[in-house]
Structure 1
Amino acid sequence: MRRRAVITGIGVVAPGGIGAKAFWDLISSGRTATRKITLCDPEPFRSRVAGEADFDPAGEGLGPQRIRRMDRAAQFAVVSTREAVVDSGLELSTVDPTRLAVAVGSAVGCTMKLEEEYVVISDGGRLWLTDHTYGVPHFYDYFVPSSIAAEIAWEVGAEGPAAVISAGCTSGLDSVGYAVDLVREGSADVMVTGATDAPISPITLACFDAIKATTPRNDDPATASRPFDNTRNGFVLGEGAAMFVVEEYEHARRRGAHVYAEITGYASRCNAYHMTGLRADGREMAEAITSALDESRLDPTAIDYVNAHGSGTKQNDRHETAAFKRSLGEHAYRTPVSSIKSMVGHSLGAIGSIEIAACALAIEHGVVPPTANLREPDPECDLDYTPLVARERRLDAVLTVGSGFGGFQSAMVLTRPGRAA
């Protein structure tokens, strides 16, 4: 019998509130949490809006040494891990530490601390030959993304595999997909997995400004993220984390754990085409969706809701629309689709896991989150994008997808607990 992987704990740090409940309250109500950037001076940049998390590390229980040692992204990951473990009801002391493993996704790692320390060691950018002796003792940890996985492993006492998966904006899907693979193959019984990113810093703003990927709609930050809308003109940067306890099904059943959803299928493809460009036909994303459905042993007509990548760029939204039609056929026109990026922004590698959290909670509550700010539909995006208002609906099978620079396309299927795998 195939080993199965289920989500038993969820922890979230996101714009609009800390914790899974605050996150769900925001996205199910259709409220937005995008605003003018406060984490750095945004005035020199073309795009000056983002989805920021109101995050106080001390208030969330982190001591001064960990606050000093860890980048904001690692802090997000630790805090959301703690929530996920408590939510799961799992007593970590009862788990064989060699059967407990970690997989964390991140696109840009410890960007904020790296940039802060570079400013110091380069004397504000004046020195081409920098002096590392001015850097903090933990400078090396910021260079090595695996330090985030190490923090999580130390937090939960995991002695099994520990890895960081970094594949751009699909990292949050790919890390959980990797965790599911480890559970299925028998390398772990319990995975602490998810993704984190805290990219709101001058270097990130400058990079996206250079390619005009982010929106210049600075006059009204709350409505700046407009996926599938005819007036959209770029994505809104975000930050945050979502972490999960993913268990082997029988392990969870024996202890009577509450199961949010089963992860029944996952697949990833690359278009081998362009660093930032996408083919209009959506073929690679469609292939990832079809493969994830095949692994789930589901027909396309079984999908009750699609959580779109929905970044709010012209090419991505049209590419996705084509991919859904190609993979789901006529059923694509009958299936509600939405993008939560309209409310929390695009947190790069973290967003895939934040969207998995949204999907698991959507199954739990029987609610399709809306696409905020969708008031003037793009005629080329002609599916049911659930504009403005959430929709009550029983959800037995949900599809979530991601698209990332480099040509990465990932898809995952989550199903209601108890549905046969």
Structure 2
Amino acid sequence: MTRRAVITGVGAVVPGGVGREAFWRTLSEGRTATRRITLFDPAAFRSQVAAEVDFDPAAAGLTPRQVRRMDRAAQFAVVSAREAVADSGLDLAALAPERLAVSIGSAVGCTMGLEEEYVTLSDSGRKWLVDHEYGVPHLYGYMVPSTLAAEVGREVGAEGPVALVSTGCTSGLDSIGHAVQLIEEGSADVALAGATDAPISPITSACFDAIKATTPSNDDPEHASRPFDGERDGFVLAEGSAVMVVEEREAALARGARIYAEIVGFAGRSNAYHMTGLKPDGREMAEAIDVALGQARLDPTAVDYVNAHGSGTKQNDRHETAAFKRSLGQHAYDIPVSSIKSMVGHSLGAIGSIEVAACALALERQVVPPTANLTTKDPLCDLDYVPVTAREHAMDVVLSVGSGFGGFQTAMLLARPGTAAAAAGRSTR
């Protein structure tokens, strides 16, 4: 029997609200969560806006010891995982721990913890030789990105495969894809899969300032993130996390679980071209989409909605518009496409999982999230980008894509449970 992977629980810590329902309200109401940075004084930087999470770790259920030990990104991941497990209805104590896996994605690891400790150890940069005795006991954990996956594994008691996936801004998609593969090959029956990043810090802002990737629209933070808009001028940095319970389909059905979606296709490609540059024809992203469709045994016309990477840079928006046309053909003009980064910003490695969570909720509720702030047409982006307002829309299959520094391109297909598209299943690799 072919093993298939389904999403049965969703947890989210995102700008605009902590928790799955707060996240969905932000999306369905078309509200933007971008503002002037409050986590540090951004006055010295070109881009001074971000999408921050209003996060109180104590209110979220973390103990003082956990708060002291864990970087902000790890805190996000653990809280998201808790919500996902509760939402799934799983009794973790009844699971064989060696059949429980964790797959967490992150682009920049424990950035905030590392920067804070460097500032302390170097006396705000005044000392070239730092004194390690001033460091916190768990400093080593900040230096090892896998700490993020280990924290989630510890939280849920996972003794199966536990891994950190770091592929830049496609990390959140790739971590879920890794979990799907673990389920399909029989290495695990249940996986906590998702991603987390908390990169809103001086060092990250300086890096993106240097390459002018982030928006300088500091006077109007609410409208600074403008994917596919003719007046866009860069992406808005963000933070957040989403974690999902991914489990084997037959077991989920046997326990009467509510299934949000079945993951029916997943593929990645690299452009082998440039660290930050993209080829205008979108060929590599289109190939990833084609492979995912082949796994799902679906025709391009089966896709009902595309959740775009939609970062809000001209290069990316035009690149993926070309990819959609290349892979979906004329059908690309007939279906809605949107970018939730217009509302919750670009949380680097975390955003792919946040977008998959959005797709799962969109499938369940049959509503397409909008592209907020899209008011001025870019003639080279001529698809239906669902401007400003969410739209009720019948959907059986959703395509979510990601594009990351280093040339990474990822595509994932989700199908509504009980539909013909879900029944088609994934081909044997």
TM-score range, shorter chain: over 0.9
Aligned counterparts of 1:97 and 1:343: Cα–Cα separation in 2 = 38
Alignment of 1:225-240 (within 5 A): 225-240=225-240
Measured against aligned partners, the alpha-carbon deviations of 1:29-53 in whole angstroms (never above 9, x if no partner) come to: 1110100000011101000000000
Aligned counterparts of 1:5 and 1:91: Cα–Cα separation in 2 = 18
Q: Percent identity?
A: 73
Residue of structure 2 equivalent to 1:255: 255
Aligned counterparts of 1:154 and 1:405: Cα–Cα separation in 2 = 30
Aligned counterparts of 1:219 and 1:324: Cα–Cα separation in 2 = 33
Residue of structure 2 equivalent to 1:146: 146
Paired letter, 1:164: L
How far apart are 1:418 and its partner, in Å?
A: 1.6
Alignment of 1:150-169 (within 5 A): 150-169=150-169
Residue of structure 2 equivalent to 1:91: 91
TM-score, structure 1 length as denominator? 1.00
Alignment of 1:100-111 (within 5 A): 100-111=100-111
Paired letter, 1:341: K
Residue of structure 1 equivalent to 2:44: 44
Aligned counterparts of 1:91 and 1:49: Cα–Cα separation in 2 = 41
How far apart are 1:394 and its partner, in Å?
A: 1.4
Aligned counterparts of 2:229 and 2:257: Cα–Cα separation in 1 = 41
Residue of structure 2 equivalent to 1:199: 199
How far apart are 1:313 and its partner, in Å?
A: 0.2
Counterpart check, 1:17 vs 2:17: yes
How far apart are 1:276 and its partner, in Å?
A: 0.3
How far apart are 1:343 and its partner, in Å?
A: 0.2
How far apart are 1:132 and its partner, in Å?
A: 1.2
Secondary structure of the residue aligned to 1:372 is coil
Measured against aligned partners, the alpha-carbon deviations of 1:198-222 in whole angstroms (never above 9, x if no partner) come to: 0000000000000000000000100
Residue of structure 1 equivalent to 2:128: 128
How far apart are 1:133 and its partner, in Å?
A: 1.3
Residue of structure 2 equivalent to 1:281: 281
Residue of structure 2 equivalent to 1:305: 305
How far apart are 1:251 and its partner, in Å?
A: 1.1
Secondary structure of the residue aligned to 2:352 is helix
Paired letter, 2:315: Q
Alignment of 1:305-384 (within 5 A): 305-384=305-384
Paired letter, 2:257: A
How far apart are 1:397 and its partner, in Å?
A: 0.1
Aligned counterparts of 1:3 and 1:397: Cα–Cα separation in 2 = 19
How far apart are 1:256 and its partner, in Å?
A: 0.4
Aligned counterparts of 2:70 and 2:58: Cα–Cα separation in 1 = 12
Aligned counterparts of 1:305 and 1:195: Cα–Cα separation in 2 = 23
* CA-atom RMSD in angstroms: 0.5
Aligned counterparts of 2:356 and 2:155: Cα–Cα separation in 1 = 22
Aligned counterparts of 2:181 and 2:237: Cα–Cα separation in 1 = 30
Measured against aligned partners, the alpha-carbon deviations of 1:358-396 in whole angstroms (never above 9, x if no partner) come to: 000000000010000000010000000000111101110
TM-score, structure 2 length as denominator? 0.98
Measured against aligned partners, the alpha-carbon deviations of 1:88-142 in whole angstroms (never above 9, x if no partner) come to: 0000011110000000000001000100000111111112221111100010000
Paired letter, 2:311: S
Paired letter, 2:30: G
Give structure 2 stretches of 5+ with no counterpart: none
Measured against aligned partners, the alpha-carbon deviations of 1:28-81 in whole angstroms (never above 9, x if no partner) come to: 111101000000111010000000000000010100000000000000000000
Paired letter, 1:144: V
Aligned counterparts of 1:114 and 1:418: Cα–Cα separation in 2 = 46
Paired letter, 1:258: R
Counterpart check, 1:388 vs 2:388: yes
Aligned counterparts of 1:386 and 1:377: Cα–Cα separation in 2 = 12
Secondary structure of the residue aligned to 2:244 is strand
Paired letter, 1:373: N
